[in-house]
Structure 1
Amino acid sequence: METIMRKLSLKLFNSNCRNETSKQRCVVNRVGYPSEYIQQDAGFSLIELIVVILMIGILSAIAAPGWLGFVNRQRLNKAQDAVLASIQQAQQTAKKNKLSYSVSFTTNSANVVKVAVYPSSSSGIALSDNSWQSLGGDLQIPAGSVLLSTNIASPNTIGTAISSTAYVSTTQPNTITFDYMGTLPNPSFGTPPTGSTDAPGLKIVLASAINSVSSSSSVKRCVIVKTLLGSMLTAKDDKCG
């Protein structure tokens, strides 16, 4: 009886399939019974594609600023680490070799941050072009993405304000010098601001560039040399001045 009912069902199903339009086809399951109709022209309409594209665009617009901010902060953190390492290298080399060593920072004509660690000279700070290295070496900081500024007017002496650096091939004022004991000879850390007893210190400031190398964002990182013994600390944003 079951076999007869199955044959009748298949005959009825096949008859119905022949009456279907060309846009549909019949699917028979493994036990021989009809299971479902499947659209042969299934896909996305133009409106659906436009909606998906718009959604992707909106989500990208929301996520992009956050991602770019994250990238900028990570880049500044790495650059800050490189500045701190360069200053520490100059101090440690001075103590190790029992000689006066200096570290200088600048930005070259291609807007790439440069650093040099070298023996100091009693006749002034003379640097050859080969003394300069890109900050962080293999960090590959894009040219113009990080702006360098300092409050150093002359070796170990701060000026009246923080200003951007300018590339000078022979004499470089953005310099910190350590003597043979690793201390700072004749430093001037500035006058404490009103309501504070803490002097500004020698600051190397890094900031993210906005649109061009002439303007910077409020996202900053800095290294500050605070004491005669060459104590260093790191800071960020408004604490960098």
Structure 2
Amino acid sequence: MGKLSLRLLRLTRSNVKSKRPCLLNTLHYASAYTQQDAGFSLLELIIVMVMIGILSAIAAPSWFSFVNRQRLNKAQDAVLASIQQAQQTAKKNKLSYSVSFTTDSTNVVKVAVYPSSSPGILLSDKRWQSLGGDLQIPAGSVLLSTNIASPNTIGTAISSTAYDSTTQPNTITFDYMGTLPNPSFGTPPTGSTDAPGLKIVLASAISSVSSSSSVKRCVIVKTLLGSMLTAKDSQCS
């Protein structure tokens, strides 16, 4: 029995020794195969880049439109806040206050709230502030227009704003009670009993945004009491 066990042990050792080179060769070939196929092929990289380009082309317009609308919403909120500030300050101080809007030579929208007794304020006056302040509205990204021909009086059409130190055409004035003295809200269009009202209109200045001209936001002062509402797109025309 002992001799048989010894023979079996020798045979087992002999088989292991004979198989060891084969095992080593297999590991060597597997290692070489793994090293040769590591990473991506040029074709795979090209396919991935083309797919990224296609997805970007699809998503970019939607993203730019979203950013554009968010920017106009911020500008609309800033316009509304400025008009409300003028009205509230007039009632608080028991004085007539005005809010004026303009666009300077660098296409930055400006707003000023000041006592109505002040003469035409210069564009260098510290009361002129960039619209939105710290709301991160990029300079020149928003176009401003109004239908205001003179304080509290609408004109024949909505037109872009430009600074005028003498007439201040883009001005809304509140008296000491917070109401509008001698307003003219225009004639209601055919088929409607609603007058146009005093409109401050905002549009995108970025021509690359699809249909940017139809995307608008506005604030409308509608009544003698200074009631305000916000509107968008076709309602701002």
Is this a same-fold pair by TM over 0.5?
yes
For residue 25 of structure 2, what is the amino acid of its counterpart? R
- Write the distance in 1 (CA, Å) between the matches of 2:78 and 2:129: 11
Count of paired positions: 225
Deviations 1:82-110 (A, max 9, x none): 00000000000000001000000011111
- 1:104 equivalent to 2:111? Answer no
Contact 2:150 2:167 in 1 (8 A): no
- Relative distance call for 1:12 and 1:137 in structure 2 (3 A) is same
- 1:12 equivalent to 2:8? Answer no
TM-score of the pair, normalised by structure 2: 0.86
- Write the distance in 2 (CA, Å) between the matches of 1:228 and 1:157: 12
- 1:25 equivalent to 2:20? Answer no
For residue 12 of structure 1, what is the amino acid of its counterpart? K
Give 1:180 deviation, angstroms: 0.5
RMSD, aligned CA = 2.6
Worse-superposed segment, 43-52 or 161-170: 161-170
- Write the distance in 2 (CA, Å) between the matches of 1:70 and 1:6: 75
List aligned pairs for 1:61-210, cutoff 5 A.
61-121=57-117, 124-127=119-122, 129=124, 130-210=126-206
Deviations 1:16-67 (A, max 9, x none): 4426776x329xxxxxxxxxxx611211111111111111111111111111
Contact 1:106 1:114 in 2 (8 A): yes
Greater share of residues in strand:
1
- Relative distance call for 1:128 and 1:162 in structure 2 (3 A) is closer
SS at match of 2:215: strand
- Relative distance call for 1:179 and 1:198 in structure 2 (3 A) is same
Contact 1:106 1:167 in 2 (8 A): yes
- Relative distance call for 1:204 and 1:131 in structure 2 (3 A) is same
Name structure 2 gaps, 5 residues minimum: none
Contact 1:128 1:170 in 2 (8 A): no
Name structure 1 gaps, 5 residues minimum: 27-37
State, as a whole percentage, how many aligned pairs show the same letter.
79
For residue 205 of structure 1, what is the amino acid of its counterpart? V
**1:29 alignment counterpart:** none
Give 1:12 deviation, angstroms: 3.1
Contact 1:210 1:217 in 2 (8 A): no
Contact 2:150 2:171 in 1 (8 A): yes
- Relative distance call for 1:173 and 1:6 in structure 2 (3 A) is farther
1:39 alignment partner, one of 27, 30, 34: 34
1:225 alignment partner, one of 221, 224, 228: 221
- Write the distance in 2 (CA, Å) between the matches of 1:186 and 1:104: 17
- Relative distance call for 1:168 and 1:25 in structure 2 (3 A) is same
- Write the distance in 2 (CA, Å) between the matches of 1:5 and 1:125: 109
